[in-house]
């Protein structure tokens, strides 16, 4: 089986097209708590886009809004629009979004610990009815060879192996867009480097677009094509990842040492208006 068979991207699209766009969305929990406040961003097809920000900025909420999982926490998108492949998917159910090629690798991995590695991978293909699932499990093992020999219960895997399993499970859904929430969480520096190397391979070899939420700004910007900085439910800065890595404010707040400040305290920083 060719590697490209793991994904199902429309041939008519090009790498420069936006696969995902959030246009001025708001997210409210329990009809009261406003978490996202006019949030807008674009993820280009075939690229890795990273979303940076402190705890509580709204990064995970953004991914859950895209994936259609807000209902589980009494959340909703009362305003704005989420578009994927040119379609308005703002209020689509989560299973329909998976069928259309969007898969969320959750913070904390979200694997089923009392199922085996293979059973977890098959779970990722729950929306499929074709006969190639077994072949593609072997393809996943080619990206994560250490999982091939670890077919006991997933709960006994190391943290790095569980992260690999979570990403492998996402591949089984044949995604066009993978949303990743803190893939480096709880991993040693060596494993973080290995996991991000695999993420980059999946992007380059399979052409999968990736929207990455990550607190390790150094590793995120090294591997991403474009980045956004988020604070208090809004985007406050964006640009090519290489440029953000050289931005003095980003260096001070996210890449350097010392106490992290807020962009609000920087007089020279001008928040971009993103209303449509």
- Contacts of 77 by beta carbon, 8 Å cutoff, 6+ apart: 25, 26, 27, 65, 70, 90, 91
Helix (H, G, I), strand (E, B) or coil at 79: strand
Going by C-alpha positions, the residue among 39, 40, 37 that lies closest to residue 18 is 40
Over residues 204-255, the pLDDT tens digits come to 999 999 999 988 899 999 999 999 999 999 999 999 999 999 988 888 887 7
Question: Do the beta carbons of residue 81 and residue 25 sit within 8 Å?
Answer: yes
Over residues 86-127, the pLDDT tens digits come to 999 999 999 999 999 999 998 877 888 899 999 999 998 887
Predicted TM-score (pTM) of the model is 0.84
Superfamily holding 3-265: P-loop containing nucleotide triphosphate hydrolases (3.40.50.300)
């Amino acid at each position: 089986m060719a590697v490209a068979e793991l994904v199902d991207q429309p041939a008519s699209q090009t790498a420069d097209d936006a696969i995902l766009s959030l246009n001025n969305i708001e997210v409210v929990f329990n009809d009261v708590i406003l978490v996202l406040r006019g949030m807008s961003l674009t993820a280009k097809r075939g690229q890795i886009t990273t979303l940076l920000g402190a705890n509580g900025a709204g990064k995970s909420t953004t991914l859950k809004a895209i994936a259609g999982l807000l209902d589980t926490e009494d959340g909703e998108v009362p305003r704005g629009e989420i578009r994927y492949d040119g379609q308005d998917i703002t209020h689509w159910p989560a299973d329909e979004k998976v069928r259309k090629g969007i898969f969320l690798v959750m913070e904390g991995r979200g694997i089923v610990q009392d199922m085996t590695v293979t059973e977890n991978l098959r779970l990722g293909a729950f929306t499929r009815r074709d006969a190639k699932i077994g072949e593609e499990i072997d393809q996943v093992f080619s990206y994560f060879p250490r999982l091939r020999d670890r077919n006991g219960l997933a709960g006994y895997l190391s943290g790095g192996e569980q992260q690999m399993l979570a990403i492998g499970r996402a591949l089984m859904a044949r995604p066009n867009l993978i949303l990743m929430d803190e893939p480096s969480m709880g991993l040693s520096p060596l494993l973080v480097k290995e996991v991000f190397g695999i993420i980059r391979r999946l992007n380059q070899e399979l052409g999968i677009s990736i929207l990455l939420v990550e607190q390790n700004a150094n590793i995120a910007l090294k591997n991403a094509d474009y980045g956004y900085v988020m604070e208090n439910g809004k985007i406050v800065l964006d640009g090519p990842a290489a440029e953000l890595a050289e931005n003095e404010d980003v260096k001070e707040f996210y890449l350097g040492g010392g106490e992290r400040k807020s962009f609000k305290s920087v007089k020279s920083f001008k928040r971009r208006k993103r209303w449509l």
